[in-house]
Amino acid sequence: MYKKYQPNHLYQNNITVVSCPDFYFAVHYAEQMNQTIPEFLHRHDLYEIYYVTDGSMQCWCAGETRKLEKGDLLFLGKNLDHHMIYNPSNHGEYFVLIFAIEPRAQSGLKSACATSDASMEYSELEGMLKRIDEEKFILSPKKLFAETLIASLYEEQRNRQVGWNSVMGTLYYQFFIGAMRLLTEEPSNIHTPSGYMNVALTATKYIHANYSDEITLEEIASLLNVTPRHINRLFQDMFGTPFARTVNIIRMHYAKQYLVATDKSIELIADQVGLPSSKALTKLFKDQEGITPVEYRIQNRKIALK
């Protein structure tokens, strides 16, 4: 009778794909194993990482034997004969991850959201993987402590709540990046995040930094290299208010801080938040809060004293 392999530990034999900005990270197999599960000699056109989570293990690869202690990682290149040496009298537990990364342009899993902004990340990872291929296998110079992450993977697989498969993909990628970072101390050459700038939010940060000065739509549009009309449309779409009104609302909120924390006059506060007069500040308060700045000061100072 056919018996299905049903382990009571982390085990994944379906391919899970993580979509990164410029490439795909595909997990082909992952399992948390121990010395009670013999592993036969094998090879494949994929990369593999052995990570010892407890005890010690011995791995045979490309005619050499390497002893691995808890926290050690062994990175294996493609098409390399290898296996963990079976020794049931020895205590050892390990996690194995078999994976590939592919640029979107070459992958059959194409997406309209692919961009060239993150090509450097793929190049950096590809360079590290090529080094592993050239050396056949690399034992990590430092130890990794990822027991909590692996426990989270097992919990996701066991509980299977909404979104569990996506979460597992993210955790696999987190493990992969943590492992790859052990191979180099060099910082990444990527200095900015990939993807398109959120122009509306970037504009609001400029407003926060310059609310006391004159701020024009044309000035921000020029700084962000877009048209004034585009800025106004983005503000309306994202915040539900046009650009000029958003600027004044931000100024009003800063005025609230002055009203509660200082005894400055309404005229002076209006000037310090970039409004032309106390009349403009009062009108803004009445429109947004339904009270005057003076009434707001009295009410909130009473609250602060309680």
Which pLDDT score, from 0 to 100, does residue 294 have?
94
Question: Do residues 221 and 228 touch, judged by C-beta distance below 8 A?
Answer: yes
| DSSP conformation letters of 176-226 | HHHHHGGG--PPPS--S-SS---HHHHHHHHHHHHTTS---HHHHHHHTTS
Is the dihedral angle over the CA atoms 27, 29, 31, 34 positive or is it negative? negative
Model confidence at 113, pLDDT cuts 50, 70, 90, reads: very low
Residue 107 CA to residue 70 CA, distance in Å, equals 36
Model confidence at 182, pLDDT cuts 50, 70, 90, reads: very high
Question: Do residues 108 and 23 touch, judged by C-beta distance below 8 A?
Answer: no
Least confident of 49-53, 188-192, 205-209, 277-281: 188-192
Is the dihedral angle over the CA atoms 206, 208, 210, 214 positive or is it negative? positive
Q: Is 79 left (phi over 0), alpha (psi -120 to 50) or beta?
A: left
- pLDDT at residue 256 tops 60: yes
Question: Do residues 76 and 137 touch, judged by C-beta distance below 8 A?
Answer: yes
Model confidence at 195, pLDDT cuts 50, 70, 90, reads: low
- pLDDT at residue 107 tops 80: no
Tell me the pLDDT tens digit for each residue of 147-170.
999 999 999 999 999 999 999 999
> Could you tell me what percentage of the chain is helix, strand and coil, using 3-state DSSP and rounding each to the nearest 5?
45, 20, 35
- pLDDT at residue 200 tops 70: yes
Averaged pLDDT, 129-135: 97
Model confidence at 90, pLDDT cuts 50, 70, 90, reads: confident
Model confidence at 111, pLDDT cuts 50, 70, 90, reads: very low
Q: In the numeric block, which tokens belong to residue 142?
A: 């430092």
Average pLDDT of the chain is: 89
Which pLDDT score, from 0 to 100, does residue 1 have?
55
Tell me the pLDDT tens digit for each residue of 28-42.
999 999 888 888 999
Within 10 angstroms of residue 268's Cβ, the number of other Cβ atoms is 13
Within 10 angstroms of residue 62's Cβ, the number of other Cβ atoms is 13
Domains and CATH numbers, the chain: 11-183 (2.60.120.10), 199-305 (1.10.10.60)
Question: Do residues 172 and 18 touch, judged by C-beta distance below 8 A?
Answer: yes
Which pLDDT score, from 0 to 100, does residue 106 have?
55
